[in-house]
A and B are shown apart, each in its own frame.
Chain A
Amino acid sequence: MPGGKANNNPKILVFSTEKISDPAIDMAGLLKLHYPPTVYTISIPCSSGVKPIWIMYAYEKGFDGVFIAADGSDCPYGDSCTEKTGKIIGHTHALMKEMDIEPARLRMAAICSVCSESFVKQMKSFNEYLLKNSNV
């Protein structure tokens, strides 16, 4: 949305990992691959350390979507990361249903350290989904 105000877009909170997905998000900036400026990142060591209560807190405070930029198989802490992050998503989906929050408002994808284009694609697609489903 060139020239538009930031707050026209849904707000997306990204939990990104310091060693893997942060470099990809940084590189997206370096390459000037644009995505909505209402995407905000909080860096954490590993995607399998995200607490579901943090995600729920973000919805409570008005975020429209939460995206976990997962380490996937690149996780430096071991190959159990993908499975563990998946379980966090599953658990959070259950909490979201309890609170009548559409599970599609939580997304996860593995973002490797050079997956800048993939990250931008994910953000654009998530943003479009949230725009189209603004009543979710």
Chain B
Amino acid sequence: MNKKLGVYICHCGGNISDYVDVEKVKQAVENEEGVFIAKTTIFACGDANQKEMVDDIKNNNLDGVVVASCSPKLHLLTFRAVTERGNMNKYNYVHVNIREQASWAHSDNKEGATEKAILLVKSAIAKVRLSEPLYPIKISSKKAVAVIGAGVAGMRAAIELSNMGCPVTLIERDHFVGGRVAQWDVLFTTNQTGKELVTNLYNDLINRKNITLLTGAEVISNAGSIGDFKVRIKKTPRYIKEKCNDGHLLKAIQACPIEVPDDFNFNITNRKAIYHNFPSEYPHYPVIDIKNCTRCGECEKICESVDFTQKEEIIEIEVGSILMATGFDSYTPAEGEFGYQKFDTVITLPQFKRIIDLNDKKLTFKGKEVKSIVYIYCVGSRQIDGDNKYCSRYCCTSVIHAAIQTKKKFANIQNYHFTRGIRTYGKQEILYSDSLKSGDIYLQSYEEDPPVVLRENGNTLVKINDILTGGKEISVKADLVVLVTGMIPRKDNKVGALLKLPKGRDNFFNEIHMKLRPVETVIDGITISGACQGPKNIMESVNSALSAATKSFSYVSKGMLALEPIIARIDKNLCTWCGACAEACPFDAISVEKDENKDIAAINNSVCKGCGMCLPVCPVNAINLIAYSDNEIESMIDALAGV
């Protein structure tokens, strides 16, 4: 209390003062308790006013400042910086929004807008009177980053961190790197194959001394917080020695009697229990799928590199930041959805892309030549009634590209696209144009009247009421029906739950702000990149990976971190430790500790996120959030109520 306050009311060049009588606001607040200076200004954010504020603070030893202007999203940090330049504690600054929430919202009622602005400024004055100087919580930070997921995004992020001199542990759950991109053949726009892209990244990272690649590795626990995450990783063995004889291994693979559906080819082919995804897969040596291996010993007889003595390892690492690049799964249609699993001519887009890659000269599926292909778009995406409301973004481009590649690779192909509108944004429109020029046929329907897949006389037919021809029913005989399935969040997402990463409405990992803080999460020190955050193409994934790498590096580069001091605070006198706060905390930031003769709650300052979820559950009201204490909130209510 007893603060000397400066209050600045902005015209915003007329945006505020056209509707709010700013002079009247000034007059109404200038005699409020503690107000030493009250001024109006044409542009509070302008250089001249900022300098004047700094001078006012210094010359008058102000220890609290209020600026009434636009949204704090725009200028809270600007004016906090101004107060710091005036040698004032920036947490004694309160921002009040009289533009979006008064002048513009009530431009139909100038008197009402002015009266509201007066009360809003008074409530900010009431808050700043009670504000206390705060200081960032300083903690040390380990200069190392864990990157989870060695797909294109994870590998590119690891390389970027390595370039910045940061040690990286790159953790991949699969036994091979490359993620989804390793499964794709030729890519738009470069005509590189996915394998080439993966090869380039792998060759770059594998020789770097500050990157440790762990494959077959899964995060099993995490303790600590930003600056000091203690990550435990379970690494399953390959059961193959690193320096092995390739020729013998190939024979061992051939000798293996076990066959299981091959995930890499989306189960359209089988693989052995000793396998690699493709001949030049990285790391180069294969793996034994121990879940399906019967230990028959056939491979051991042929190849001396097989080593069943290898044991599972638990590796513990300490890092200052974690970068998530865990990718996506493809939507699996429900049984019977557009004939999926009902008719053997119906497959998904990822399966189709593997078929194009695996076939040569002639396109065949299940022994039959394929000439007429129907693509049904938006399967599992843009669902009005289903869970996946979102557009998966990449699929229109991906399927059109696949259709073009099919025509290039195989003769006499006719493509029929059953769409819900084409979304080949940006340069990808070139593909749509190429596809049209090549004679592909496009038909369209709405979600409530989708195409129907049926069998008649041994043929697969797809019918649509085509809105491009005025709703005319069109029927196409298809050798193959490709369901254009979108991206969904990883079905096995234990690592997300383990790190307590929040998810959005689409169930992908959620960033703090999609435009302004797109790779940060509310869990300090954990960044997200690539398609684990939502559907993205390769370019977008790499963009976000580079951004996340830079952000993660910023957490560890200085060896020291300054955290926001707005956290929960326990009143030791009131607390009687019932545990309700610890139960309510989604971040495990509250534990019990001894204080003299009783148990009380203790806040872990570097883990608390300042959400306040612990506040309302305390039966004795022993918890306050710094800067949102009962006194501060109630003083604001007093001011707004006009008492």
Contacts and interface: CB of A to CB of B under 8 A. Distances in A.
A63 B521 CA distance: 36
Contact of A75 (B113, B116, B119, B502): B502
Given A6-B115, A19-B513, A49-B625, A30 B104 contact: yes
Given A23-B73, A35-B105, A78-B502, A42 B613 contact: no
Given A19-B512, A51-B630, A13 B637 contact: yes
Nearest to A46: B611
A91 B113 CA distance: 34
A49 B638 contact: no
Given A41-B101, A77-B522, A77-B609, A58 B115 contact: no
A134 interface: no
Contacts of B615: 49-51
A5 B112 contact: yes
Residue among B102, B521, B522, B621 with most chain A CB within 10 A: B522
A38 B616 contact: no
Contact of A45 (B105, B610, B633): B610
Most buried by A among B112, B123, B621, B638: B112
Contacts of B344: none
Interface stretch (B353-361, B446-454, B503-511): B503-511
Contacts of A93: none
Interface residues of A, number: 58
B610 A29 contact: no
Contacts of A3: 109, 111
A84 B613 contact: yes
Interface residues of B, number: 57
A99 interface: no
Interface string B111-135: 1110110011001000000000000
B115 A61 contact: no
Interface string B378-413: 000000000000000000000000000000000000
Given A48-B616, A76-B522, A37 B115 contact: yes
A106 to B, nearest CB: 14
A46 B613 contact: yes
A23 B71 CA distance: 9
A51 B640 contact: no
A102 to B, nearest CB: 18
A74 interface: yes
Contact of B101 (A25, A49, A57, A87): A25
B628 A6 contact: no
A54 B630 contact: yes
A6 B640 contact: no
A62 B641 contact: yes
A55 B566 CA distance: 22
A40 B502 contact: no
A32 B611 contact: no
A29 B104 contact: yes
Given A5-B111, A13-B640, A37-B106, A49 B123 contact: no
A37 B510 contact: no
Interface string A46-84: 101111111001100111000000000111111111001
Interface string A1-14: 11111110001010
B345 interface: no
A22 B616 CA distance: 21
A44 interface: yes
Given A6-B115, A26-B100, A61-B643, A77 B109 contact: no
Contact of A77 (B104, B120, B502, B636): B502
6 contacts: A28-B100, A41-B101, A51-B616, A54-B637, A74-B505, A78-B502
The 8 A-B pairs with the shortest beta carbon distances in the complex, nearest first, are A49-B612, A37-B112, A29-B100, A6-B112, A29-B105, A29-B104, A61-B641, A26-B100
Given A22-B73, A26-B101, A62-B641, 5 more contacts: A32-B107, A37-B109, A41-B101, A61-B638, A61-B641
Interface of B: 71-73, 97, 99-109, 111-113, 115-116, 119-120, 123, 500, 502-505, 510, 512-513, 521-522, 566, 584, 586, 609-616, 621, 625, 628, 630, 633-634, 636-638, 640-643
